[in-house]
Amino acid sequence: MARCVILLSGGMDSATVLAIARAEGHECYALSFDYGQKHRAELCAAKSLAKQLGAVEHRVMTIGMGQLGGSALTDANIEVPESGGEGIPITYVPARNTVFLSLGLGWAEVLGADAIYAGVNVVDYSGYPDCRPEYIAAFQAMANLATKCTVEGQPLEIRTPLINLSKAEIVAEGARLGVDFSITVSCYSADEQGAACGHCDACELRRQGFESTGVDDPTRYQA
């Protein structure tokens, strides 16, 4: 059975991607990052999801990138904003997907995996430069030259099966594949128990996704 690495944040998108990777016949190695994010509850969610969705292994890797600051998600001096606003949001974390995909690339090489799955999608595309298809294509081109395995002829594909889906389509796909969305944590300001704020961009997108599909929304909100 071919192996793959999944970047598993603990949110609904990466949970759905894990379910897709399994449905596509992969043995799944889930990788999460403790990078100084305020919403650390997502790491507990990732642990539960890896187990529920049948990952062979789940690792949480610590990266000291929070010390760089510059994002509302990692910097204590910048508040997570309510949803809306123009341009690239302050919740953007400098080079985050590049760092995460790079570490996934390292693990994939050690495992002899043939794919790395990541839950980037077109909705985030409106805001984050590192969620766009052209960015993923450029990362793939770089990865093809970066590692011993790719240079020696073993292909390693960056797969982003959600990249062209709306949030509603992601909900529908996850539901079809049996993802338990009650475990997932999307909120940028989730409390320690994983309850959502209901006001940030991530909460807004998630709520709209459930509303448009008619799938029951199991999100727990803060009191």
Contact positions vs its own copies (CB under 8 A): 59, 61-65, 67-70, 88, 92-99, 102-103, 105-107, 109-110, 129-130, 132, 134-135, 138-139, 141-148, 150-152
Residue 77, φ and ψ in degrees, nearest 5: -85, -5
DSSP-derived secondary structure for 128-144: -GGGSHHHHHHHHHHHH
Strands 115-117 and 27-34: unpaired
Taking the least distance from each CB to its own copies, the nearer of 57 and 217 is: 57
- Minimum distance, C-beta of residue 62 to its own copies, in the bound complex (Å): 5
- In the bound state with its own copies, the residue whose beta carbon lies nearer, of 120 and 179, is 120
CB nearer its own copies, residue 52 or residue 147:
147
Q: How wide is the angle at C-alpha 41 spanned by C-alphas 100 and 169, nearest 5°?
A: 65
Query: To the nearest whole angstrom, how small is the minimum distance from the Cβ of residue 51 to its own copies?
Result: 20
Return phi, psi of residue 91, to 5°: -80, -10
**Cα–Cα dist 90/82, whole Å:** 11
Name the strand (E) or helix (H) holding 47.
helix 41-52
C-alpha to C-alpha distance for 215 and 167, rounded to whole angstroms: 12
| Min separation Cβ 169 and its own copies, Å | 24
Least spacing, CB of residue 15 vs its own copies, in Å: 23
Q: How far is the CB of 140 from its own copies (least distance, A)?
A: 9
Q: Which amino acid, one-letter code, is at 168?
A: A
Q: In terms of CB distance, is 18 or 105 closer to its own copies? A: 105
Q: Which residues pair with 3 in a beta bridge?
A: 27
Task: Give whichever of 80 and 103 is closer to its own copies, judged by the CB atom.
Answer: 103
By C-beta, is 100 or 210 nearer to its own copies? Answer: 100
The DSSP output letter for 174 is: H
Query: Whole-number minimum distance, CB 29 to its own copies, in Å?
Result: 10
